[in-house]
Amino acid sequence: MKILLLDKNHPLITEQLLAKNFILEEDFTSSYDEVCSKIQNYDGVIIRSRIPLDKNFLEKASNLKFIARVGAGMENIDIPVAEKLGIQLINSPEGNRDSVAEHVVGMLLILMNRLFIASNEVKKGIWLREENRGDELLGKTVGLIGYGNMGKATAKRLSGFGCKVIFHDILSNLSDEFATQVSLEELKEKAEVLSLHIPMTEETHYLIDSTFINEMKNNFYFVNTARGKNVETKYLVEALKSGKVKGACLDVLEYEKASFENLESENEDLQYLLDSEKVIVTPHIAGWTHQSKEKLAQIIVDKIIASFC
């Protein structure tokens, strides 16, 4: 089988697939149109997020047997068209669930204990103790939306901090030793920390809007390591200003490029997030550890070999 690699990934992908007699070609620079012009020559494609695999792309890929996305989210692929064309879709959410979970906990600890702020103050010769009094995770009720690989890994970590973890998911009967499944209404009633672990779909686009925020009974901390457009940022900013949202940990932003490589726009709401002491922002790196890079790649290779060798 002839496979096109469109993004740089861990070298084990190339090493192990070559060892199984796959033919590999790398193209990390060609434009969308240039790739479309040659995609009919390949049986498989391995991607991250650089190029969208839309209806036009997939219809030109007349010989494509599979698409392997090194990561979890599949929104860069027109899934209904791919399925109609009989193209197998492969991803690897198991590979970065642990790094996402640790990132969630790390951001919450930094935000709630003012660690970054206090450290910067001391380095500037400012010694404030009462002003930097922290807020403990112990005893908090944490509500997760989405209980797949990322949600489960996050619940496992938070349960170790003495949190009561509840979650809502579109699938049923997912409760385990780390978290209890509840209705969305009950989650809004009880959660003191809200964390998103959902894909980007029509249903989850702007899930967190003014209505959702206002329906939360408690003032709450908010965490998003899922997708930026799960949140309507202007209403998050309003809630931060009013105190309804006590603080936000954002690894993803509504204003990111589709490739996740940078921001595509700037505005007053974004500037507020960047300037606020109540907000921690990281550049879409929750799933981006040295360990996850290798695990993501290995899972992709294993799934390709299992299906096509």
Cα separation, 250 vs 281, whole angstroms: 5
Residue 193 contacts residue 162 (beta carbons within 8 Å): no
256 is catalytic: yes
114 is catalytic: no
Closest CA to 179 of 226, 145, 230, 204: 145
227 is catalytic: yes
Closest CA to 203 of 184, 220, 189: 184
Cα separation, 102 vs 144, whole angstroms: 15
Q: Which residues contact 253 (CB under 8 A, 6 or more apart)?
A: 228, 233, 263, 270, 273, 281
Q: Which residues contact 240 (CB under 8 A, 6 or more apart)?
A: 247, 248, 272, 276, 278, 279
Helix (H, G, I), strand (E, B) or coil at 16: helix
Selecting among 114, 157, 227, 254, the annotated active-site residue is 227
Give catalytic residues, as residue numbers: 227, 256, 284
